[in-house]
Structures are given as C-alpha cells and as structure tokens.
Amino acid sequence: MAVLASELGWPSYRVSPVERWHGDKHANQDDCIAEEAPIALMYNGEPHAVMLATPLDLEDFALGFSLTEAIVASPGEVESIKVYQRAEGIEVRLRIPEARCAGAAEKGRNLAGRTGCGLCGARTLQQAMRRPGPVGQGVQVSAPELIRVLAGLSEHQRLNRITGAVHAAAWAVPGQGIQWVREDIGRHNALDKLIGALARQGVDFGGGFVVVTSRASYEMVQKCASVGIGFLAAISAPTGLAVRLAEDAGVTLVGFARGDKHVVYANPQRLLHSKA
C-alpha cells in the first residue's frame, strides 16, 4: 500500500491565507498550496538521489524510479521499500540485490534532483542519454478513445483540483478508459509514480497507454520505453530529442492532445483515425 504524506506528517498541500485580487477588488481568503519535499532514495543503506516531489504515493515513486532508471530489471528485484520521516524531509529505503546496488552506485546519480529536472545527477552523457531497446507491439488506440480519456482526466486529478499546481500521469486501457492516475509537482515524478503503481499491481505495460498533463520531454519517452510502454500522449509539445528517441524506440508519441485535436510525432500506426 502506498504511503500517504498525511501519515508521515508531510501533507500533500497546505491551506494558507492569501489576498486574492480581481482588478481593483480583493478578498482575504484561504488557498490550497501544493507541497513539495526532498525525498531521499537509498539502496541497501547507500544514498543514491534526492528528488523534490509531492509527498504522496512514495512507494510507487520509489519502485517506478528504480525501474525507469534501470537500477532494477523487474519489480521482483525490489525486496522491500520502507518510508521514514526525517526532520529535513523523507527517506525511502529500498533493499535490492547487491549486484544491482553496485550498478546503481556506478551510475553516479547521487545528487539532488529538482522537480523540473528529469536528468539531474547524471554525471556523464552516456548516463543522461540512456537509450532503451525497442518496445513491443503495444496497443492500438482509436482517436475517439484518446479524446474520451483526455476529456475525463480532470475528474481524476484530485490534488490538482485543490491546488492547480500538479501534473498527472494516467494509464488507460482501450475499451476500459482510465484505470490509474498519479499526481506530482514534477511531471517525471508523476510518471514514475504511475509506472510504480502499475508494476506493483502486475499490470502488462504493453496493454495500455499513458496520457500526461505536461510536455513530452526526452525523459518522459525514456521512462515509458524503459518498461515497454508503447504509446505516450501529452497535452503539450514534445521536444526534438523526445521525438527522435520515440522514433528509435518505436514509441507512438502524440503531442498537443487537447479536446479533439492532437499531433502525432512518431510511430502513428497505433493511433487509429476514421478517414472521411
């Protein structure tokens, strides 16, 4: 079961008094403000990375991060995940095989990661630009189904409805709609949380698709491809590097997915349109 920030004493949002202005009129009101906290990820007692993230669904986050950063090859290699509150932040301790722990140490990612950064801490170009192998056949998604998922996503964004400040990553299955959603102040953290949640439930990564409320930057495609997700749709634009990685890895990459409009940037064969 994912650890909730409220159980740790670190809330996912706080209520603070604000002055709200509209032209020359104002009101004193309470506002809900999203929290972020330093999350220290430790493997077999050794520090690996400190990421700023929303203190919510931290077991999902730790497992997803471990998979998408290729620290472990499968969820079964994570023997345990324990979450501890510290005075300065939150510590997540994972137990993995010693051979994997040695590999994690060689990656050299023992630096701080900001919420907006997906490659913080990588010490070499090879580490930062890790290229996963090609994904499998994956699913085919009809354009109407993608539109329905996009239209229904907001009702699953509980924390964003309260704060207006967090991203979401959603998992949808053709014919079944949205199955899982995870939220975080950082787009890549939300995706790691989603991937971790799916892995913990034993979900087939080739059996659905991901929609994110952010741009499709390189590391978002990288994370999807790392676990075999073959379809990623984003409400904002992709980067050139993301498009090139999607082409190489066989990932269907859709950007500017808003309402009934979208742009397919790579591997269009999985998105089905009715042609007039």
The reply to whether 30 falls in a domain is no
Q: Give, rounded to a whole angstrom, the gap between the first and last alpha carbons of the chain.
A: 48
Catalytic residues: 117
What value does the mean pLDDT take over residues 139-154?
97
Contacts of residue 51, defined as CB under 8 A and 6 or more positions apart, other chains included, come to 38, 39, 41, 65, 112, 113, 115, 120, 186, 189
Q: Are residues 108 and 165 in the same domain?
A: no
Residue position matching structure tokens 């939220």: 183
The reply to whether 83 falls in a domain is yes
- Of 195, 226, 210, nearest to 132 by C-alpha is 226
- Of 50, 59, 17, 56, nearest to 35 by C-alpha is 56
Q: Which domain holds residue 48?
A: 37-128
In this structure, what CATH number is given to the domain that contains residue 84?
A: 3.10.20.10
For 191-226, write each residue's pLDDT tens digit. 999 999 999 999 999 999 999 999 999 999 999 999
pLDDT band at 105 (very low <50, low <70, confident <90, very high): low
Q: Are residues 255 and 159 in the same domain?
A: yes
- Residue 177, pLDDT > 80, answer yes
Return the axis-axis angle of helices 187-200 and 218-227, rounded to nearest 10°: 10
How many structural domains comprise the chain?
2
For 118-136, write each residue's pLDDT tens digit. 545 455 445 556 788 999 9
Q: Are residues 148 and 267 in the same domain?
A: yes
